[in-house]
Structures are given as structure tokens and as C-alpha cells.
Amino acid sequence: MSEPQQKKPLSQELRILFASLLSMGVILLWARFFGPKPPLNPPQTNRPAQSAPAQTGGVPASVPTAAKPAVANVPATTMTGAPKADTQERTIVVENNLYRVEFSNRGAVVKSWQLKQYRDDAKPPQKCRDGGNPPCVLDVVHPDAAQQTGGWPFSLVLDDDQLESAANSGLYQISTSGDVLHAPADAEFTWSDGHLEITKHFRFDHTYVVRVETTAKLNGAPILAGLAWRGGFGDLTVTNPIPVETVSIYYSEGGKLTDLSYKKLEGPEKWGRGVWQGGKDYTGIEDRYFTAAFLPANGAAPGTLETR
């Protein structure tokens, strides 16, 4: 019998080829049995913001300006846009022959709303609150009450405390570089921390009517947002000021007018966040002589406002 034939040793090239095939087989098996599974449902794209303009000469309680958008308390885990904020606090004044309105870009709120056609008749004349010369114009913004309560007219109302605080303390960018605008004029305030994005747009004309549009997004998705007239109402620096007992909130629902004195107003601890009452035709805050009313936008049907 002849000796069995000796096997030839594998060449270096064949060894590399076999090792590559073996490695590829291991990778394919691992991916088949141990790899991450694909998502069952593809992610949905965010809907565009839904908003409805509101026409107002001031804002009572709080009124959402979005027409039933989805309310989403989404945790801010990823940046959805670049932060947008001013570097310092600024003041901008808008005026016409009827009023002078002073905005702060911190929160995009109103710090003063003077009525030029109504003046104090104090005798002897007193020093005006803003440092001007008598006779002093009336101011329907109550700064002492606003500072005590931490809220100013046209501050934002959200269903999340932390988001609301961030929106009302942020330094908004203003669409104009000037410090004084003469109506008719537009002023837009925008702010974002990369997750929460707020826009407030004001349009002033020659009348007392101011058109306001507000949008709020969280991580790109629209959320419910309202505007509030916070900090009281009326000028207590004039002679014989209107007592606080005369200040009330009113609203119309189904053509029926309801008037609530400040003593009958219930605190937020009773209702909590996220509880809105719809079906309002209009709503406002008033004292004996003046009012700030929130009206639906042009063409909007009655019963479209929500309040808190």
C-alpha cells in the first residue's frame, strides 16, 4: 500500500479569505438574532403651528389664542431649534394720539398703558408717576400690584408652570431696532430656548383696538397658550382713585353677560392648570370708567374664546 498523500498547507491568501468569510457569517448571525429591532411604526412629522389672531384692547384673566391645537407636555430632551433671545433688557414705546404703551422685552409684557385723552385734575397739580409735568395722563396698568404679584399685562399663560415661568422671564428679540414706534405700526416679539418657542405679534392703528396674535411651540409641536391681563387694573396715583372694590371681570356667553367682582373670583388652586372654560363671546376687566376687552378676531364666530 502506498503512503497516504500529504495535504498541501493553505496559502496565506486562502487563510485570509476563509477568515473574512467566517467573520462575515458571525456578523450576520449576530444581527439576525441579537441586533436591535426596527420600530413598529415610523415616526410622525410634527404638524405646523395652529393659531388664530385675537383682537384686543387689553386682556382679562387669560384667553388661549390657538384654535384647539393639541396640548402637549413633551419633555424637552433634544434641541429642535437654535435658541433665540436678546442679550439685554430693552424698552419699546408704541403710541398714537390716544395712548402711549410701554413694552419690556423681558417676557414681552406691557409695563404702562397711558390714556392721553384722560388726565388727572388734582389741585394743586401733583407730580406725575412717570416724572412728567402735570396734568398727568391716566395709566390703566397698576405697577405696584404687578410687582407684588409678579405678573404684567399680556404675560403668557401655559399649562406647565416651568414653561410659563421661562416664557415670561425670557428676553425676547424685537422686530424693530427703534425704541419708539408711531402707530399704525407692528411689533413682534420672539423668544426660544431651543425647546420652547414663543411669538407675540401686536398690530396698532389709529384707534384703541390692538390686534394680537400669539403662537407657542414645544419641541416643534403647537401647545395651548393664552394671554393674561395680570397685575390689577387702574391708576391709584391720581386724586380720588377708583377703589379696588369697583374692579370686576366680565364675560359674555350665549349672549348673556356675567359680571364678577374681585371678591368672587376664585384662585388657581381651585381649578388647577389646564382647565379652560370655552364658549365665551368676549371677556374683559373693568373699573368704574374704563375697560380692557378681549374680542374675537375679525370674522370669528361668537363663543370661540376660552378663559381661565
Tens digit of each residue's pLDDT (9 = 90 or more) over 110-135: 999 999 998 877 777 777 776 777 77
Question: Other C-beta atoms within 10 Å of 86: how many?
Answer: 16
How far apart CA 13 and CA 3 sit, in angstroms, is: 29
Q: What is the pLDDT of residue 24?
A: 60
Q: What is the pLDDT of residue 22?
A: 58
How far apart CA 57 and CA 237 sit, in angstroms, is: 22
Angle at 45 between CA 69 and CA 275, to 5 degrees: 20
Angle at 292 between CA 128 and CA 238, to 5 degrees: 20
Q: What is the pLDDT of residue 119?
A: 83
How far apart CA 301 and CA 281 sit, in angstroms, is: 8
Q: What is the pLDDT of residue 271?
A: 72
Locus of grid cell 388657581: 268
How far apart CA 172 and CA 198 sit, in angstroms, is: 9
Q: What is the pLDDT of residue 54?
A: 36
Locus of grid cell 413694552: 103
Question: Which portions of the chain are predicted below pLDDT 50?
Answer: 1-4, 30, 38-61, 64-77
Q: What is the pLDDT of residue 297?
A: 83
Locus of grid cell 414645544: 218
Q: Are 119 and 239 in contact (CB under 8 A)?
A: no
How far apart CA 189 and CA 176 sit, in angstroms, is: 9
Q: CA-CA distances (angstroms) from residue 168 to 172, 190, 243?
A: 9, 12, 29
Q: What is the pLDDT of residue 10?
A: 57
Largest CA distance in the chain: 140
Chain segment 73-96, per-residue pLDDT in tens: 334 445 567 899 999 999 999 999
The bridge status of strand 196-204 relative to strand 210-218 is antiparallel
Q: What is the pLDDT of residue 1?
A: 47
Q: Of 173, 208, 230, 170, nearest to 94 (Cα)?
A: 208
Question: Other C-beta atoms within 10 Å of 176: how many?
Answer: 13
Q: What is the pLDDT of residue 147?
A: 86
- Exposure on the CB side of residue 26, measured as CA atoms within 13 A: 6
DSSP states along 92-126: EEEE-SSEEEEEETBTTEEEEEEEEEEE---SSPP
Q: What is the pLDDT of residue 34?
A: 52
Locus of grid cell 384647539: 68
Angle at 247 between CA 114 and CA 161, to 5 degrees: 85
